[in-house]
Amino acid sequence: MLHALTKVSTFRSLEHKEWGILWLAGHLWHLAFWMDLIVLGWLVLELSDSAFQVALVGTFRLIPMGFLGVLAGSLGDRLPKRKLLILAQIINLTVTVAFTVILIFDLERVWLIYLTALLTGSAWSIDFPIRRAFIRDMLPATAIVNAMAIDAASLVGMAMAGRWIGGGLLAASGPVLAYGFLVGCYIVGLALLVRMPNPTVEPRPSTAAPSVVKDLIAGFVYVWRNPALRGVLLVTVIINFCVAPYFQLTPVFAKDVFDIGPGLLGLMSGMDGLGALIGALVLASMIGLVRLGRVFAIGSIVFGVGVLLFSQAPNYQAAIPFLVIVGLGTAGFAAMQTTITVTQAEPEMRGRAMGAVALGIGVIPLGMAFVGGMSEWLGAAEALGLTSLIGLGLIAMVLLFQPDLRRAKQ
């Protein structure tokens, strides 16, 4: 199947066998990540009927990113990346099997859901910086933009599929079947990763600091001193605090604003994945794409505008096209966020540079808690509308005062 895909220019980087296997395994991990968020969020909503407690699912899922993501990026410059990825997926599988047993015996409680989200979030925090730095290690420079674009397509496409499948299984049979499906995803994904040949990585001089803490500081300083990377980091922080928390509030919008059930929730919330899939495939098909900063800037603005429009949608039918716009913006933002980072950073600093980006993503739990708390006070629509509007203003300021980011090229 992969050989046939390489004949299409959109998937040309898959001619590298190791990357092709990692890409296929990534589909299953991405699907599980998004499906799990929908299922856990709905469970908490059913147990608590609280927007704030639903938002805390995303908070616990992503709070490890602020520390473990940075640490994993540093370790990825010191230890074999493939072994770290296997460790992350073993954690995912173990936790998911344990929570499936809890569901079978009807023992689920809100605190157990939060613990599950925290543990799988820890595995995701290891995976995010390591896998993207690993992709750059295993591929030549000519393949990297295409590889990052189709990796983003996998992430966002599975966001769509995961939410549709999660919502459908919740509506049809409940959370036990949904979690059984997740166990299967992790088993197959881990098997693919274990079977993946060890790629040949060109030896590079080590710049690792004497201690992990000094290594982390060195990575952050390196990113901050590079104007383009600094701009990526600042926009990443703004989007993850002010804009991205929208997805954890979709169950609240479904139940309290649009008055729909889990089936239509899955359909609606997956539409940003559809838009992002379209956008990512378009980017992957652009063979001569070099103006990475411009795509990143446009994607970031479109992302924020889409969330602002979604927050003011009067019904779920109107929300669907607005979420497609969110997805189109996400494609440009997410694909170029990674591509700019791994192309601007020196080879021996890629893991730490991605760790710094993971630190920026790590503010999303704070954003989720903040927007969730505001939703209890103002209402979900008003809170999300206000924070996305503030985010748009801050993004515009960064793009204005960081011209090197706008001019970033491959």
CATH code of the domain containing 331: 1.20.1250.20
Q: What percent of the chain has pLDDT over 70?
A: 90
Quote the pLDDT of residue 203.
46
Rounded to an integer, what distance in angstroms lies between the CA atom of residue 299 and that of residue 149? 13
pLDDT: is 148 or 102 the higher one? 102
What are the pLDDT digits (tens) for 305-331?
999 999 999 988 999 999 999 999 998
pLDDT level of residue 8 (50, 70, 90 thresholds): low
The answer to whether residue 369 sits within a structural domain is: yes
Which region holds residue 89: left if phi is over 0, alpha if psi is between -120 and 50, else beta? alpha
Judged by average pLDDT, the poorest of 50-54, 65-69, 119-123 is 65-69
Q: Do 226 and 357 meet the contact criterion of CB atoms below 8 Å apart?
A: no
The answer to whether residue 4 sits within a structural domain is: no
Q: Do 389 and 112 meet the contact criterion of CB atoms below 8 Å apart?
A: no
- Number of compact structural domains in the chain: 1
The answer to whether residue 374 sits within a structural domain is: yes
The answer to whether residue 205 sits within a structural domain is: no
Rounded to an integer, what distance in angstroms lies between the CA atom of residue 189 and that of residue 372? 33
Full residue range of the structural domain in which residue 266 is found: 9-197+212-406
What are the pLDDT digits (tens) for 165-188?
988 898 888 899 999 999 999 999
Rounded to an integer, what distance in angstroms lies between the CA atom of residue 113 and that of residue 111? 5
Q: Which two tokens stand for residue 234?
A: 């600042």
Q: Which of 199, 254, 265, 235 is nearest to 357 (CA)?
A: 235
Q: Do 41 and 57 meet the contact criterion of CB atoms below 8 Å apart?
A: yes
Q: Do 365 and 59 meet the contact criterion of CB atoms below 8 Å apart?
A: yes
The answer to whether residue 164 sits within a structural domain is: yes
Q: Do 248 and 58 meet the contact criterion of CB atoms below 8 Å apart?
A: yes
Check pLDDT > 50 for residue 148: yes
The answer to whether residue 3 sits within a structural domain is: no
Rounded to an integer, what distance in angstroms lies between the CA atom of residue 69 and that of residue 241? 17
Judged by average pLDDT, the poorest of 127-141, 210-224, 241-255 is 210-224
Quote the pLDDT of residue 270.
84
CA 304 to chain centre: 16
pLDDT level of residue 391 (50, 70, 90 thresholds): very high
Biggest CA–CA distance in the chain, Å, is 58
What are the pLDDT digits (tens) for 268-312?
888 988 898 888 888 877 756 667 888 899 999 999 999 999 999
The answer to whether residue 100 sits within a structural domain is: yes
What are the pLDDT digits (tens) for 362-378?
788 888 889 888 888 88
**pLDDT averaged over the chain?**
85
pLDDT level of residue 4 (50, 70, 90 thresholds): low
What are the pLDDT digits (tens) for 198-229?
665 544 545 444 566 676 777 788 889 999 99
Q: Which two tokens stand for residue 227?
A: 């104007």
pTM for the predicted model, two decimal places: 0.75
Quote the pLDDT of residue 160.
81
Rounded to an integer, what distance in angstroms lies between the CA atom of residue 209 and that of residue 204? 15
* DSSP, res 80: -
Rounded to an integer, what distance in angstroms lies between the CA atom of residue 410 and that of residue 109? 48
pLDDT: is 187 or 158 the higher one? 187
The answer to whether residue 24 sits within a structural domain is: yes
Q: Do 225 and 375 meet the contact criterion of CB atoms below 8 Å apart?
A: no
Rounded to an integer, what distance in angstroms lies between the CA atom of residue 42 and that of residue 54? 8
Q: Which two tokens stand for residue 313?
A: 């949608």
Q: How many CA atoms lie within 13 A of 147 on its CB side?
A: 31
Check pLDDT > 60 for residue 117: yes
